[in-house]
Amino acid sequence: MGYAGVIGEFDDAVVAVRLREEIARQRISRAGLAEAARLSISTLEKALSGRRRFTLATIVRLEEALGASLRGSP
């Protein structure tokens, strides 16, 4: 399986919904999450709004910061 197959295994809209749910569930700020995941707040906001795609690296960083999966089954 090539690189494109790995990238295509998640849906940005599903990741965004799960990310919003985790932010609410854990009661953390987007700025705090961005800092914990070593992302800029701009990158996080653009991805959540759909103006930028989530990269696999970004999703992995967010999952590590949240301690929750954003790609797998809920």
Q: What is the pLDDT of residues 47-73, one digit of tens each?
A: 999 899 999 999 999 999 999 999 876
Mean pLDDT of the region 21-37: 96
pLDDT number for residue 5: 41
The CA distance from 11 to 36, in Å, is 23
Among 48, 45, 39, 51, smallest CA distance to 14 is for 48
**pTM flag (> 0.75):** yes
pLDDT number for residue 70: 92
Rounded mean pLDDT of the chain?
87
Mean pLDDT of the region 29-41: 96
- Which residue's entry shows tokens 């953390």? 28
